[in-house]
């Protein structure tokens, strides 16, 4: 390793890549925590399954999947080699890769001259939302790894590489376009044009290759990475809130990092570098944008807290910087004001529906700051780390990634399926059910058919090219597995299904679009024991159709 002569000055130094051994211990801790969650499927999540699905599509038919921007091509290509080995292998590889963000952040902090580079590493490793996203297989967690890599390269002055990685990252998480804008602005001010070249590498190369494939100049905008607006007539968005509540915001912040309030003290933390200030502005703009965008339904952003994950490396560095000066007289008024504001927000959030987690977190940070102020920095750090260690188990609820929140009806679905013997072919609109059943070794294997929803099919067809065969090849690749064995709306015909088919349906307003009541109500016989949240039914014979006297056909129930 060469030392950082001028921390944060691009090109001034080349920091070591491997980081401090303790950072790898923290990375291992992250793997253990996420692995613990994997064991009980705590964070089994449809968005994580979607990442696996895209990697599977890429492994099955590389070219059409690679040029489907929706499939997050860089990420799907990365995971394609392991995608066909099963969900477990995919998730473990995901956890291992995500854990690399920990030493990367530590190396960045060291590069920037932090006195305690292990603090930001610990913030990343123990972030409740990052542990959850890592275990769930979310692409947002991969974005943390990507951003951590970009920040390290950037801080080392490897601007071409930093730009190249960031340019590709936008095809993993489109919201990272904000970091691209920051890098463009920063490099323009500093006249570091290599960053511009790097940023253009992926879009140009990928765009040209796609041009050859699609034979269409404007293919990138004609088949964008996400729907510019929701599918017309989809009832899904009608059920989604448009603005976050205070309780949700505070809970999400604490899930990102329980010590988030410390970041407010970063500006007094022993001279943050120019780069850190730019990144800080990125983090602020990112959070504001992701909080405001859902109001207009732009690019299908909802209010899922997981979208905030990419700011974690920046937040961690800010917290690390803050702990360098948290016991000093300078800035004490600012830090205390931040604590009081955080306390007020936490209490107000509690009074409007959040748990007391945020208030406990603020209390812990305040106590640690008092210890630091009394000249006991080690005790303060120990308290901070102890608080962070509690995070993944006690502050994760605000991330809203957990299976119990996303699909609380899963266990009842399994019970109802098993009550019917457990071997009947199941048709469901619950995307997690197939994966959940597969991972239950204590029960018979059940063939699960997933009812592809109209808006899912709309997205796949709207974002792929029907003219060059891409669309049909993608649909053929998806037929091997799409949250189970897929049943596309056109194939969902009661007369073409196995007679012992068991319908296990969650309440979803979109279901009417693929199973219209006038067709399906006469053909489904509800099975007793339904409790509202899960509907279980089996097929019954078609009503006899007899010609009416006036020649109009009418149905009569058997």
Partner 1 sequence: MSAEDRAPVIAPLLAALVTASGIAWGLVAPPRSEAVARPDASTSLAAPVAEVLASLEVGTRLAGWRVVAVVPADEPGGARVDLERDDLRFGLSVIPREAAVHSAPTRTEHWAIYYGHVRPQGARVPTRIVTAVTAALEREIRARE
Q: Which of 32, 82, 328, 497 binds partner 1 (CB under 8 A)?
A: 328
Q: Which of 373, 377, 422, 425 binds partner 1 (CB under 8 A)?
A: 373
Q: 3-class secondary structure for 83-109?
A: HCCCHHHHHHHHHHHHHCHHHHHHHHH
| Least distance (Å) between residue 236 CB and partner 1 | 10
Q: Are 139 and 72 in contact (CB under 8 A)?
A: yes
497-516 positions binding partner 1, by CB under 8 A: 506-509
Helix, strand counts (H, E) of the chain:
26, 8
Q: Is 329 in the site for partner 1 (CB under 8 A)?
A: yes
Q: 3-class secondary structure for 320-388?
A: HHHCCCCCCCCCHHHHHHHHHHHHHHHHHHHHCCCCCHHHHHHHHHHHHHHHHHCCCHHHHHHHHHHHH
Closer residue to partner 1 in complex, CB, 333/441? 333
Integer Cα distance of 537 and 440 in angstroms:
23
244-263 positions binding partner 1, by CB under 8 A: 244-248
Q: Is 184 in the site for partner 1 (CB under 8 A)?
A: no
Q: Which of 100, 211, 363, 492 binds partner 1 (CB under 8 A)?
A: 363
| Least distance (Å) between residue 349 CB and partner 1 | 9
The 8-class DSSP code of residue 482 comes to S
**Backbone angle region of 502, left / alpha / beta, with phi > 0 → left and psi within -120 to 50 → alpha:** beta
Q: Is 220 in the site for partner 1 (CB under 8 A)?
A: no
Integer Cα distance of 234 and 79 in angstroms:
31
Strand partners, 485: 449
Looking at the chain, how many residues does it have? 558
Closer residue to partner 1 in complex, CB, 330/476? 330
Q: Which of 132, 253, 339, 385 binds partner 1 (CB under 8 A)?
A: 339
Q: Is 522 in the site for partner 1 (CB under 8 A)?
A: no
Q: Which of 132, 397, 505, 536 binds partner 1 (CB under 8 A)?
A: 397
The angle formed by the CA atoms of residues 107, 108 and 113, to the nearest 5 degrees, is 95
Closer residue to partner 1 in complex, CB, 296/334? 334
Q: Which of 32, 367, 379, 389 binds partner 1 (CB under 8 A)?
A: 367
| Least distance (Å) between residue 63 CB and partner 1 | 37
Q: Is 444 in the site for partner 1 (CB under 8 A)?
A: no
| Least distance (Å) between residue 528 CB and partner 1 | 10
Q: Angle of helix 101-111 relative to helix 312-322, nearest 10 degrees?
A: 50
Of 113, 117, 92, 139, residue with least CA distance to 24: 117
Interacting residues toward partner 1 by CB under 8 A: 238-241, 244-248, 327-329, 332-333, 335-336, 339-340, 343, 346-347, 350-353, 356, 359-360, 362-363, 366-367, 369-370, 372-374, 397, 404-405, 408-409, 412, 506-509, 531-533
């Amino acid at each position: 390793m060469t030392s950082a002569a001028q921390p944060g000055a691009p090109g001034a130094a080349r920091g070591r890549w491997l980081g401090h051994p303790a950072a790898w211990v923290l990375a291992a801790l992250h793997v253990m925590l996420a692995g613990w969650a994997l064991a009980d499927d705590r964070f089994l999540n449809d968005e994580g399954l979607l990442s696996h699905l895209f990697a599977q599509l890429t492994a099955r038919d590389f070219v059409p999947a690679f040029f489907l921007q929706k499939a997050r091509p860089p990420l799907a290509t990365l995971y394609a080699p392991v995608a066909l080995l099963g969900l477990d292998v995919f998730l473990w590889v995901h956890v291992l890769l995500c854990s690399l963000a920990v030493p990367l952040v530590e190396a960045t902090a060291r590069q920037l001259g932090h006195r305690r580079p292990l603090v930001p590493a610990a913030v990343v490793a123990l972030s409740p939302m990052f542990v959850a996203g890592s275990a769930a297989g979310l692409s947002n967690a991969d974005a943390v790894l990507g951003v951590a890599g970009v920040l390290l390269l950037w801080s080392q002055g490897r601007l071409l590489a930093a730009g190249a990685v960031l340019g590709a990252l936008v095809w993993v998480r489109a919201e990272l376009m904000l970091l691209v804008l920051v890098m463009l602005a920063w490099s323009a001010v500093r006249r570091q044009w290599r960053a511009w070249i790097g940023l253009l590498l992926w879009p140009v190369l990928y765009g040209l290759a796609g041009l050859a494939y699609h034979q269409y100049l404007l293919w990138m905008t004609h088949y964008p990475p996400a729907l510019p607006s929701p599918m017309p007539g989809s009832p899904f968005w009608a059920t989604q809130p448009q603005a976050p509540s205070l309780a949700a915001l505070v809970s999400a912040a604490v899930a990102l990092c329980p010590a988030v309030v410390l970041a407010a003290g970063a500006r007094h933390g022993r001279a943050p570098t120019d780069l850190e200030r730019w990144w800080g502005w990125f983090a602020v703009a990112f959070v504001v944008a992701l909080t405001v965008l859902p109001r207009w339904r732009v690019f299908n952003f909802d209010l899922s807290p997981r979208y905030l994950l990419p700011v974690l490396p920046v937040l961690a560095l800010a917290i690390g910087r803050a702990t360098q000066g948290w016991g000093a007289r300078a800035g004490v008024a600012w830090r205390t004001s931040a604590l009081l504001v955080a306390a007020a927000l936490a209490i107000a959030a509690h009074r409007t529906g959040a748990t007391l987690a945020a208030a406990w977190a603020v209390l812990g940070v305040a106590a640690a700051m008092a210890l630091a102020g009394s000249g006991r920095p080690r005790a303060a750090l120990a308290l901070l780390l102890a608080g962070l260690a509690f995070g993944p188990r006690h502050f994760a609820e605000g991330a809203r990634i957990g299976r119990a929140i996303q699909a609380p009806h899963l266990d009842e679905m399994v019970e109802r399926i098993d009550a019917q013997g457990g071997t009947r072919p199941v048709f469901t609109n619950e995307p997690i059910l197939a994966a959940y059943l597969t991972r239950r070794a204590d029960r018979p294997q059940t063939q699960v058919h997933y009812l592809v929803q109209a808006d899912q099919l709309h997205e796949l067809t709207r974002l792929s090219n029907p003219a060059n065969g891409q669309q049909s090849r993608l649909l053929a690749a998806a037929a091997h597995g799409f949250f189970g064995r897929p049943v596309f709306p056109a194939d969902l015909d009661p007369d073409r299904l196995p007679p012992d088919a068991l319908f296990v349906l969650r309440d979803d307003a979109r279901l009417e679009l693929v199973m219209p009541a006038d067709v399906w109500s006469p053909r489904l016989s509800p099975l007793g024991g339904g409790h509202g949240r899960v509907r279980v039914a089996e097929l019954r014979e078609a009503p006899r159709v007899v010609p009416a006297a006036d020649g109009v056909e009418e149905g009569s129930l058997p």
